[in-house]
Amino acid sequence: MLQPAAQDATQKPAGVGGNAEQEVTQLADQYTAALKGKDAAALGRLWADDLTFITPGGAVQTKAQRLADIQSGATKFETLEATDRTFRVYGDAAVMTTLTTVKGQYSGQEASGQYRVTQVYVRRGGAWQIVAIQMTRAAQP
């Protein structure tokens, strides 16, 4: 059974998971910046060709569909802030969860609010990419 190399993105890198932790954290920051900046070229590099994205409304989208939404303006953000980051590294795979505050829209639909987001990263050929993302509206206290 695989054991997580790191559990919390706020911890200092340690042992085998240290480099992966830093790399995944940097990728997550680049991803947020690319979404905010509508940078389709950067998103095209960060998302794997076999990306599966599950929207806040429960629809499944491919990389091509996500890129088309970004390029057309159907998906856009005024605010996008990820907090409460935690992740685990499993060799060449990592899972990150966040609490993300969004002011904007997905696929032309209003989607402002707080979401729990799960992102799955895979390292292929030495480079990390996002292979899956799922967003679920966060429970309100």
**What pLDDT does residue 15 have?**
35
pTM of the model: 0.82
> How many domains does the chain divide into?
1
pLDDT string in tens for the chain (141-residue length) = 444 444 333 333 333 445 888 899 899 999 999 999 999 999 999 999 999 999 888 999 999 999 999 999 998 899 999 999 998 999 999 999 999 999 998 888 888 999 999 999 999 998 999 999 999 999 876
Residues 6+ apart with CB under 8 A from 125: none
Q: Is residue 10 part of a domain?
A: no
Instruction: Give me the domain span that covers residue 28.
Output: 17-136
Please give the Cα distance from 76 to 81 (Å, whole number).
13
**Helix (H) and strand (E) counts for the chain?**
3, 7
Whole-angstrom CA distances from 4 to 27, 83, 106 are 19, 21, 32
Q: Is residue 5 part of a domain?
A: no
Q: Is residue 12 part of a domain?
A: no
